[in-house]
Structure 1
Amino acid sequence: MHLTETCDEQRVNVITDVATMVSAADSQALPGIHARLKRRRLLPAQHLVDGGYTSVALLDASARTYKIDLVGPLGESNSRQRNAEDGFARENFIIDFERREVTCPNGKVSGNWNELPSMAPFTVVRFDKRQCGPCPERTSCTSGTARTVNFLSRHLHELQARHRADQQDPAWRRLYALRSGTEGTVEEFAGGHRARHCRYRGRTKTQYREV
């Protein structure tokens, strides 16, 4: 169940969209929500969403297609090094898009720049084992013989970095706090009106249909 609600501080909140999807990630529901809001001429300038609806691709698509500023928490890198808080994560490498080079924290430079269709939209840069082998911190950087760094295309990479930086700003946090009220609306639908229960069997009948 996906609810969209206005959250203007000086106005009564109004539900503008309700949708149900069966066993689907929240992110898959967002394009349909925006399409319906556009048809009703109810698209917001800013759309506050939880982390399930937030990705770099959706941030970009919402801005390009609907001119919407998608506001929601964007997770940090989940690399082994970052999760362990030990060694060098991707953020510790310097990416030079103009020269198509990546510099590691110990100053080694790799121009082995690969934009593989199978890895799109990621770029893959591999360091040579002759660079990584002598490095005294190799085991903290990679479990293999040489390090590979994956990162998004320049536009998405910069968008990701900018959004993650914005999340640390108190002004961003105050804006995002406006979304908290919708949790009560979700609970009212789910608990008070059994919105997550259906008397029918089969996926076809459980899908929300716009009238």
Structure 2
Amino acid sequence: MRTIWVQNYHRAVTEAGAEVKRQESKNLPPGRLRLASPYDTDTRYGLKQSSWWTGYKIHISESCDETDDQDAPTGQATIPGADGPPPRLISSIATIDATVTDAEMTEPVHHMLAGRGLLPAEHFLDSGYVSAELIVGMKKNFGVTLVTPVLLNSSPQARAGAGFDRTAFTIDWEKRQATCPRGDTSTWWSPATQRGTKAIVIKFDKETCRPCPVRDQCTRSKTGGRTLSLQPRELQEVLDHASLQQSDEQWRAKYGTRAGVGGTIHQAVAVTGMRRARYLGLQKTHLEHVLSAVALNLIRLDAWWNGHPLDRTRVSHLARLDLSLAA
């Protein structure tokens, strides 16, 4: 309780005498150090998009194999009553305080999976869990390919969908040079640090860009030449490859596999009430989450063993109306 008071209030002496005032937001401790409740000192304030809460975050991993028993090796016993492909089972549960970002949990989750021999060859993730460094690192350290959308080019040209964005330029890493769509080459290539990360800044000479007939489609600068910012070669090539892949319809259909985890989250909330902790403390809350995951796995296994698939094909009211009209 004393820590809560010290973090949120201070004693001020004015002409009217001593009084207690609430700390201004700039004087509050960082979120990971600031206690949210005197009753549970592990909880923290969480924010995601427009949602605020006090407590924890949970990260769920589940299997997504589509192989059924017919593909089982010869001689392997089949399960009586099992119907269709194996159910998706929760393979990992991670509970952390609400201030930890998704990207910070990517490597710990892979360590958890590796410790139990459950690492997948491909891991389907939300874009919030990845960066170029993580895509490269998970492949090197765990042999896992991260399948995820990456943030596309955020240049003004890319956002507008017009003009020459970074992908319109040819990068020669060996010569440390870039070539624009009209064939002109850059004159400046320099390593830099942008917002705490390594980058490469490429510039074109202003005398080259100034008379260019398509200048308006290339740069908004009134006097200078075009500037490009790249990540180091290995990371930039990974991002370029991922961006090219995710524009393919086959890749999008493949990534649709991840949509199943949305149903898992809904089931966890609706069946086990996972969104509201029953106990105090991180360890007890994590145990609750593990038991909830076990319960969901048993429900899914029971349905599979008895030939009752959990997924039901839903037909919208509009689709049903269309079918009735067609009849």
Note the C-alpha offset of 1:43.
Answer: 1.0
Q: State the structure with more CA Rg.
A: 2
Note the C-alpha offset of 1:7.
Answer: 0.9
Q: Does 1:77 align with 2:77?
A: no
Root mean square deviation of aligned Cα: 2.5
CA contact (8 A) 1:63 1:69 kept: yes
Q: Which amino acid aligns with 1:46?
A: E
| Structure 2, unaligned runs of 5 or more | 1-57, 69-85, 291-327
2:202 and 2:130 map into 1 onto residues whose CA distance is 26
Q: What is aligned with 1:93?
A: 169
1:206 and 1:93 map into 2 onto residues whose CA distance is 54
Q: What is aligned with 1:191?
A: 270
Q: What is aligned with 1:62?
A: 138
Q: What is aligned with 2:184?
A: 108
2:283 and 2:202 map into 1 onto residues whose CA distance is 48
Q: What is aligned with 2:208?
A: 131
Q: What is aligned with 2:106?
A: 30
CA contact (8 A) 1:126 1:146 kept: yes
Note the C-alpha offset of 1:201.
Answer: 7.1
Give the SS at the match of 1:20. Answer: strand
Q: What is aligned with 2:93?
A: 18
Structure number with higher relative contact order (C-alpha < 8 Å, ≥ 6 residues apart): 1
Q: Which amino acid aligns with 1:8?
A: D
2:121 and 2:277 map into 1 onto residues whose CA distance is 34
TM-score when normalising by structure 1: 0.86
Q: 1:91 to 1:63 in 2, by over 3 A?
A: same
Q: Does 1:7 align with 2:7?
A: no
Q: 1:43 to 1:153 in 2, by over 3 A?
A: same
CA contact (8 A) 1:5 1:13 kept: yes
Note the C-alpha offset of 1:200.
Answer: 6.1
Q: Which amino acid aligns with 1:73?
A: P
Q: Which amino acid aligns with 1:151?
A: L
Q: Which amino acid aligns with 1:58?
A: L
Q: 1:55 to 1:206 in 2, by over 3 A?
A: farther
Q: What is aligned with 1:179?
A: 258
Number of aligned residues: 210
1:81 and 1:207 map into 2 onto residues whose CA distance is 47
TM-score when normalising by structure 2: 0.58
Q: Which amino acid aligns with 2:62?
A: E
Q: Which amino acid aligns with 1:182?
A: V
1:170 and 1:16 map into 2 onto residues whose CA distance is 29
Note the C-alpha offset of 1:57.
Answer: 1.9
